[in-house]
């Protein structure tokens, strides 16, 4: 039975989430503030976290950063609960490391469906990968160590940036639409704008390209999506 942590300062939201999830065969533990949640997280890691954006003291984004910065918890799927509907707010959360968004008020059928989708994605991610290291010119990505280097210098990427870059480097020369990248990298029923892919590509280019305005690794295929160029002699190991 999957364990889901619900972190929200509104008691009615906690009650609704508990009811919706337990009725769908999930074990639920609720927390009214971030400090209580973080303390519990030290002892037991759940299968998924539902995290409210706006809370007193520690807000959801601060907590999300802590989760992603801790090696013991960085792989836990996190769904943000928020009354914010602005696209850029969602992009910010996704960039920090949220796996999905649910806008409050949410439906009792939607919530467990989103959690199940996240859990399916987690199950797929935990499957062993055949390719661990890919080299393309000066760029090397190590899937097992989750490390990227260029000319021997390590490049720091967020979790989502790493997954997106690895996906593209696994298939040099293949063009992927934004929708396909959302499906394969985010691996969940993401209902937001595909613009989040563009945002992540831009950040990756800023980190791996000598001249981000004239990229040599990730190519934009106008009207379609993106491809990792195969003219640099990609090899796998």
Top-confidence range, 72-81, 131-140, 204-213 = 204-213
Q: Is the pTM value of this prediction over 0.75?
A: no
Residues 6+ apart with CB under 8 A from 170: 131, 134
For residue 71, what is the domain's CATH number? 3.40.50.2300
Give tens-digit pLDDT for 4-32: 999 999 999 999 999 999 999 999 999 99
Give tens-digit pLDDT for 177-205: 888 888 888 765 555 567 889 999 999 99
Q: What is the dihedral of CA 223, 88, 60, 83, to 10 degrees?
A: -110
Q: Which of 104, 125, 146 is the last residue of a domain?
A: 125
Q: Which of 83, 100, 125 is the last residue of a domain?
A: 125
- Nearest CA to 103 out of 133, 132, 82 is that of 82
Give tens-digit pLDDT for 32-82: 999 999 999 988 889 999 999 888 888 888 999 999 888 888 889 999 988
Determine the pLDDT at residue 232: 47
Residues 63 and 171 in one domain: no
Contact criterion met (CB below 8 Å) for 228 and 219:
yes
Residues 96 and 186 in one domain: no
Top-confidence range, 74-88, 94-108, 163-177 = 163-177
Q: Which of 125, 143, 161 is the last residue of a domain?
A: 125
Residues 119 and 188 in one domain: no
Residues 176 and 84 in one domain: no
Number of domains in the chain: 2
Residues 17 and 105 in one domain: yes
d(C-alpha 31, C-alpha 40), whole Å? 9
Residues 76 and 143 in one domain: no
148 pLDDT above the threshold of 60:
yes
For residue 174, what is the domain's CATH number? 1.10.10.10
Residues 99 and 145 in one domain: no
233 pLDDT above the threshold of 80:
no
Contact criterion met (CB below 8 Å) for 53 and 35:
no
90 pLDDT above the threshold of 80:
no
Residues 121 and 197 in one domain: no
Range of the domain at 178: 133-236
| Average pLDDT over every residue of 126-154 | 84
Determine the pLDDT at residue 125: 55
Residues 186 and 74 in one domain: no
83 pLDDT above the threshold of 90:
no
What confidence category does residue 237 fall into, taking pLDDT thresholds of 50, 70 and 90? very low
């Amino acid at each position: 039975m999957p364990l889901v942590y619900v972190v929200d300062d509104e008691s009615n939201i906690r009650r609704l989430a508990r009811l919706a999830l337990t009725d769908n065969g999930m074990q639920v533990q609720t927390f009214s503030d971030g400090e209580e949640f973080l303390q519990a997280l030290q002892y037991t890691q759940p299968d998924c976290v539902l995290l409210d954006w706006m809370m007193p003291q520690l807000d959801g984004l601060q907590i999300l950063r802590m989760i992603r910065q801790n090696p013991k918890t960085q792989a836990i799927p996190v769904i943000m609960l928020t009354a914010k509907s602005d696209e850029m707010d969602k992009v910010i959360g996704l960039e920090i490391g949220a796996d999905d968004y649910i806008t409050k008020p949410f439906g009792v059928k939607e919530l467990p469906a989103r959690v199940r989708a996240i859990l399916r994605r987690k199950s797929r991610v935990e499957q062993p990968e055949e390719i661990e290291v890919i080299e393309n010119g000066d760029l090397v990505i190590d899937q097992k160590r989750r490390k990227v280097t260029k000319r021997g210098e390590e490049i720091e990427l967020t979790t989502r940036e790493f997954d997106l870059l690895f996906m593209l480097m696994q298939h040099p020369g293949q063009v992927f639409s934004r929708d396909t990248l959302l499906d394969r990298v985010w691996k969940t029923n993401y209902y937001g704008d595909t613009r989040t892919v563009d945002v992540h590509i831009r950040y990756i280019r800023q980190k791996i390209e000598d001249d981000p305005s004239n990229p040599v690794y990730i190519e934009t295929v106008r009207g379609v999506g993106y491809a990792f160029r195969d003219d640099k002699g990609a090899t796998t190991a």
